[in-house]
Amino acid sequence: MTRKQKRLAVIGGGMSFIIIAVFLVMFAFSQSVAYFFMPADLATANLQPGTRIRLGGLVEQGSVKRGQGSTVSFTVTDGNATVPVSYTGILPDLFREGQGVVTEGSFDAATHAFVADSVLAKHDENYMPKEVADRLKKDGVWEDGTGKGMAPAKDAPAEKAPDQKGQVVGSTTP
Amino acid sequence: MIVEIGHFALVLALATAIIVSVLPVIGVYRRDANMMAVATTGSLVMFGLVALSFAALTWAYVVSDFSVKNVWENSHSLMPLLYKYSGVWGNHEGSMMLWLLILVFFSALVAVFGRNIPETLKANVLSVQAWISLAFLLFILFTSNPFVRLDPAPAEGQDLNPILQDFGLAIHPPLLYLGYVGFSVCFSFAVAALMEGRIDAAWARWVRPWTLAAWTFLTAGIAMGSYWAYYELGWGGWWFWDPVENASFMPWLAGTALLHSALVMEKREALKIWTVLLAIMTFSLSLLGTFLVRSGVLTSVHAFATDPSRGIFILCILAIFIGGAFMLFAWRAPTLKAGGLFAPISREGALVLNNLILTVSTATVLTGTLYPLALETLTGEKISVGAPFFNMTFGLLMLPLLIAAPLGPMLAWKRADLLGAMQRLWIFAGLALIVGLTLWYMQNGGPILAIFGLALGCWGMLGAVADLWCRGNFGKLPVMTSLRRLKGLPRSAWGTALAHFGLGVTVVGIVAASAFSTEHVVEMKQGQTVEAGGYSLTFDGFREAVGPNYTEERGHFTVSSGGATVSDVWSSKRLYTARRMPTTEAGILTFGLSQLYVSLGDPMDGGGIVVRIWWKPLILCIWGGCLIMMVGGFVSLSDRRLRVGAPSRKAKSVKPVMEPAE
Q: Does any domain span residue B570?
A: yes
DSSP assignments along A113-170, one per residue = -EEEEEE-----TTSS-HHHHHHHHHHT-S-HHHHHHH-TTTTS-TTS-HHHHHHHHH
* ipTM score assigned to the predicted complex: 0.77
List of chain A residues whose C-beta atoms are within 8 Å of the C-beta of residue B397: 21, 24
Interval B130-152 mean pLDDT = 93
Chain segment B447-499, per-residue pLDDT in tens? 677 778 888 888 889 889 888 888 887 777 788 888 888 888 888 889 999 99
Can you say whether residue B31 is alpha, beta or left, with left for phi > 0 and alpha for psi between -120 and 50 degrees?
Answer: left
Task: Enumerate residues 459 to 498 of chain B having a beta carbon within 8 A of any beta carbon in chain A.
Answer: none
Q: Which of residues 150-169 of A touch B (CB under 8 A)?
A: 152-154, 158, 161-163
Residue B115 per-residue DSSP state: G
How much is the average pLDDT of B282-289?
A: 94
Instruction: With CA atoms as reference, report the closest residue to B128 among B325, B332, B327.
Output: B325
DSSP lists the bridge partners of residue A75 as A84
How is chain A split into domains, by residue range? 1-33, 35-170
C-alpha R_g of chain B? 27
* Most confident residue range from B158-167, B185-194, B400-409, B593-602: B185-194
For A143-157, B216-230, B256-270, B529-543, which range has the lowest pLDDT when averaged over its residues?
Answer: A143-157
Q: How many structural domains is chain B composed of?
A: 2
With CB atoms and an 8 Å threshold, state whether B393 touches A28: yes
Interface A:B, Cβ pairs < 8 A: 136
Residues in CB range of B562: below 8 A, 6 or more apart: none
Kindly state the percentage of chain B with pLDDT values over 70.
92
Question: Residue B444: pLDDT band by 50, 70, 90 thresholds?
Answer: low
- For residue B113, how far is the Cα from the chain centroid? 23
Nearest-CB residue to B367 (from A25, A34, A104): A25
> What pLDDT, on a 0 to 100 scale, did the predictor assign at position B541?
85
Contact B189, B198 (CB under 8 A): no
Average pLDDT, chain A: 71
A21 and B584: CB-CB below 8 Å?
no
- Nearest CB to A122 within list B299, B344, B349: B299
Of B59, B68, B82, B65, the closest CA to residue B549 belongs to: B82
For residues B148-153, give the mean pLDDT.
88
Residue type, A170: G
pLDDT tens digits, one per residue of B534-553:
889 999 888 888 888 888 88
B236: part of which helix (H) or strand (E)? none
Question: Per DSSP, what are the bridge partners of residue B614?
Answer: B519, B597
Compare B190 and B410 and report the one with higher pLDDT: B190
Q: Report whether pLDDT(A155) > 60.
A: no
Q: How far apart are CA B304 and CA B546, in angstroms?
A: 28
Computed over every residue of chain B, the mean pLDDT equals 86
Give per-residue pLDDT as tens, B46-90. 999 999 999 999 999 999 999 999 999 889 998 899 999 999 998
- The answer to whether position B152 is within a domain reads yes
Is-contact B98 B304, C-beta < 8 A? no
Closest CA to B82 of B168, B205, B15: B168
Q: What CATH number was assigned to the domain covering residues A35-170?
A: 2.40.50.140
With an 8 Å Cβ cutoff, is A22 touching chain B?
Answer: no
User: Domain holding B63: CATH number?
Assistant: 1.20.120
DSSP code string of B60-89: HHHTT-TTBHHHHHH--TTS-HHHHHHGGG
Of B23 and A132, the structure prediction assigns the larger pLDDT to B23
Q: Is A57 on the interface with B (CB under 8 A)?
A: no
Confidence of residue B294 (pLDDT cuts 50, 70, 90): confident
Asked whether the beta carbons of residue A124 and residue B600 sit closer than 8 angstroms, the reply is no
**Residues B384, A9: C-beta atoms closer than 8 Å:** no
Q: Is the per-residue pLDDT at B652 higher than 50?
A: no
Instruction: Give the CA distances from residue A98 to residues A163, A168, B136, B301, in Å, rounded to whole numbers and listed in that order.
Output: 8, 8, 40, 22
More confident residue, B192 or B406: B192
Please say if the pLDDT value at position A144 is more than 70.
no
Burial class (CB in 10 A: 0-12, 13-18, 19+), B565: exposed
- Put simply, the answer to whether A129 touches B299 (Cβ < 8 Å) is yes
Tell me if B651 is assigned to some domain. no
**B339 with B269: CB under 8 angstroms?**
yes
Contact B383 A34 (CB under 8 A): yes
Q: What is the pLDDT of residue B515?
A: 84
For chain B, give me the number of helices (H) and strands (E)? Answer: 21, 10
pLDDT at position B411 is 82
User: What pLDDT shows up at residue B504?
Assistant: 94
Say whether residue B154 is in contact with chain A using an 8 A CB cutoff: no
d(CA B611, CA B613): 6
The CA distance from A109 to B627, in Å, is 47
Contact B383 A36 (CB under 8 A): yes
Binding-site residue set of A: 123, 127
Please state, in angstroms and rounded to a whole number, the distance separating the CA atoms of residues B217 and B210.
Answer: 11
Q: Is the pLDDT of residue A68 over 80?
A: no
User: Is B211 inside a domain boundary?
Assistant: no
pTM for the whole thing? 0.87
Q: Do the beta carbons of residue B150 and residue B72 sit within 8 Å?
A: yes
Q: Are B636 and B491 in contact (CB under 8 A)?
A: yes
Q: Does A31 touch chain B (CB under 8 A)?
A: yes
CA–CA separation, B196 vs B120, rounded Å? 8
Chain B residue at shortest CA distance from A159: B578
A contact test, residue of B165, B580, B583, B609 with most A CBs within 10 A = B580
Note the pLDDT of residue B642.
Answer: 59
> What is the C-alpha to C-alpha distance for residues B42 and B138, in angstroms, rounded to an integer?
17
Instruction: Give Cα separations from B298 to A90, B332, B373 (angstroms).
Output: 24, 36, 9
Say if CB B214 and CB B183 are below 8 A apart: yes
Mutate to test the interface with B, among A66, A95, A117 (most CBs of B within 10 A): A66
pLDDT score for B89: 92
B15 in any annotated domain: yes
What are the pLDDT digits (tens) for A25-50?
988 888 778 888 888 888 777 777 77
Task: Give the one of B73, B234, B356 whose C-beta lies nearest to A17's C-beta.
Answer: B356
- How crowded is residue B126: how many other Cβ atoms within 10 Å of its Cβ? 31
Question: What pLDDT is attached to residue A157?
Answer: 34
Compute the nearest-CA separation of A18 from chain B (Å).
7
Least confident of A79-88, B444-453, B624-633: B444-453
Chain A partners of B345 at a C-beta cutoff of 8 Å? none
Identify the domain containing residue B78 by its residue range: 1-165
B386 within some domain: no
Exposure b/e, B598-623, CB count within 10 A at least 16 = b: bbbbbebeeebbbbbbbbbbbbbbbb
The residue length of chain A stands at 174
Distances (CA, A) of A127 to A104, B342, B466: 18, 58, 53
- Report CB contact under 8 Å: A72, B602: yes
Cβ-proximal residues to B260 (8 Å cutoff; 6+ apart), any chain: B351, B354, B355, B358
